[in-house]
Amino acid sequence: MKNHKFLLVLPALLLLQNAFAQVGHLSLSDSYPAAAEKIKISYNPVGTPVEGKKDISAEVFYIDGKDYPAVDVDLKADGNTLTGEFTIPTTAKAFFVKIFSDDVIDNNNDKGYVFLIYKDKKPVEGAYESNGFILASGLGTHFAKIKKDNEAGLTLMIKERELFPATERNSMRSIIGC
């Protein structure tokens, strides 16, 4: 029965993966960012809401199921591109990057710049749940104007439960009532 449910959810997950695909404005030095890894970001503001702004800043918000730390990223100009780096905490499961200038935020057309944490090129346990938390809790909306999406958050929670059925759930429990 579980396999049948997963097969029904699979097309939705594939659509969701395409929906969360990042556009070319922000890129990471590693397509599979891992805990404790130093990541370099490159950001091209051309065609974004912060294009032409002088003081563009970046913050990274980590989702770890407990503390939710955030760090500022020191961006430096490199031609038309801004670059910076940060180190992912060992407890992080996912993160999102906020790019802004004063009160103007580049929210990547409402999708945000959201990334999972990987180990051996596979999402770590809790990564999909954390991504769902960013979308469904309003946390991503509050800090980075990422469009709140309960359905996408629930779909990610289902995927997490399919991949890791024995794991205790933390962040989504209050959102979806489990």
pLDDT, tens digit, for every residue of 109-135?
A: 999 999 999 999 999 999 999 999 999
CATH number listed for the domain at residues 2-176: 2.60.40.1930
Give the pLDDT confidence score for residue 78 in this predicted structure: 87
Provide the total of helices (H) and of strands (E) in the chain, helices listed first.
5, 11
pTM of the model: 0.81
Please name which of 129, 122, 158 lies closest in space to residue 7, comparing C-alpha atoms.
158
- The amino acid at residue 127 is A
Please name which of 98, 116, 100 lies closest in space to residue 61, comparing C-alpha atoms.
98
Confidence band of 76 (pLDDT split at 50, 70, 90): very high
